[in-house]
């Protein structure tokens, strides 16, 4: 761990966050739709239309965009229409062509690492569920933002050895987890629940923050439940700023 530069995180809504490292701000996983504008996730325990909550009134100014994967709750049509076409956009290599087809002109796939604005961006492994369901969910990634002080954004993943290895390798100062315990009517949850969050908490000395809650119909674990069942973990409200 280090404290060479400042790091902060502002939760916008769901997995949409603003990560500021030093002087550079990244908008991660933009979901811009209005409440109820998107259909419910199918084969899930309820049929509530998405997103469930409105965007908070926050400044979304950013220097670059990072998309962990192209599921609709991490990058939607409204974001495609709203973002500047020439914004630097970092993504998984497997999805670069799709962003180019969307009209973005400065797409920067991250195979291993890239640099931008004094920040080194590393792509890290993730597993969106377990067993066959994880295979069906397609490729997903996490990202580490390093400028002396280090932030690890795990992405849509459960706790597994890939997350553990990332924590050991980078020794982050701030860790951002996608909670909510998203699930279908079959199989195990595909994002972190209480036991996953506790495992991360036990594996690192970093500040641990949980987002991706109470915004999408198949995310059933609430903030109140997370706060009650974990210790030493921040579960911010929409719009809230977390700093080291």
Cα gap 236→207, rounded to integer Å: 13
pLDDT digits (tens, 9 = 90+) for 71-110: 999 999 999 999 999 999 999 999 999 999 999 999 999 9
pLDDT of residue 141: 97
pLDDT digits (tens, 9 = 90+) for 100-140: 999 999 999 999 999 999 999 999 999 988 887 777 878 99
3-class DSSP state of 237: coil
On whether the 7-235 domain is CATH 2.60.120.260, my answer is: no
Please check the confidence at residue 4 and state whether its pLDDT lies above 70: no
What are the structural domain ranges in the chain? Answer: 7-235
Please check the confidence at residue 2 and state whether its pLDDT lies above 50: no
DSSP 15-26: TEEEEEETTEEE
pLDDT digits (tens, 9 = 90+) for 201-229: 999 999 999 999 999 999 999 999 999 99
Q: Do 203 and 154 meet the contact criterion of CB atoms below 8 Å apart?
A: no
pLDDT digits (tens, 9 = 90+) for 143-197: 999 999 999 999 999 999 999 999 999 999 999 999 999 999 988 998 999 999 9
pLDDT digits (tens, 9 = 90+) for 13-41: 999 999 999 999 999 999 999 999 999 99
């Amino acid at each position: 761990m280090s404290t060479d530069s400042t790091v902060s995180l502002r939760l916008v809504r769901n997995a949409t966050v603003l990560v500021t490292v030093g002087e550079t701000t990244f908008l991660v996983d933009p979901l811009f739709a209005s409440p109820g504008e998107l259909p419910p996730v199918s084969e899930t325990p309820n049929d509530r239309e998405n997103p469930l909550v409105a965007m908070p009134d926050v400044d979304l100014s950013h220097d670059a965009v990072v998309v962990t994967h192209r599921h609709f709750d991490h990058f939607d049509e409204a974001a495609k229409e709203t973002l500047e076409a020439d914004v630097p956009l970092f993504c998984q290599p497997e999805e670069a062509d799709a962003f180019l087809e969307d009209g973005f002109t400065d797409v920067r796939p991250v195979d291993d690492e890239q640099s931008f604005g004094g920040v080194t961006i590393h792509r890290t492994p993730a597993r969106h569920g377990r067993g066959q369901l994880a295979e069906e969910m397609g490729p997903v990634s996490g990202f580490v933002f390093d400028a002396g002080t280090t932030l690890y954004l795990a992405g849509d993943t459960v706790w597994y050895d890939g997350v553990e290895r990332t924590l050991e390798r980078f020794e982050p100062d701030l860790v951002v987890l996608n909670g909510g315990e998203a699930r279908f009517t079959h199989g195990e949850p595909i994002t972190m629940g209480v036991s996953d969050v506790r495992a991360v908490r036990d594996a690192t000395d970093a500040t641990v923050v949980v987002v991706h809650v109470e915004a999408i119909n198949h995310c059933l674990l609430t903030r109140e439940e997370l706060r009650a069942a974990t210790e030493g973990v921040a579960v911010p409200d929409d719009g809230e700023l977390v700093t080291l």
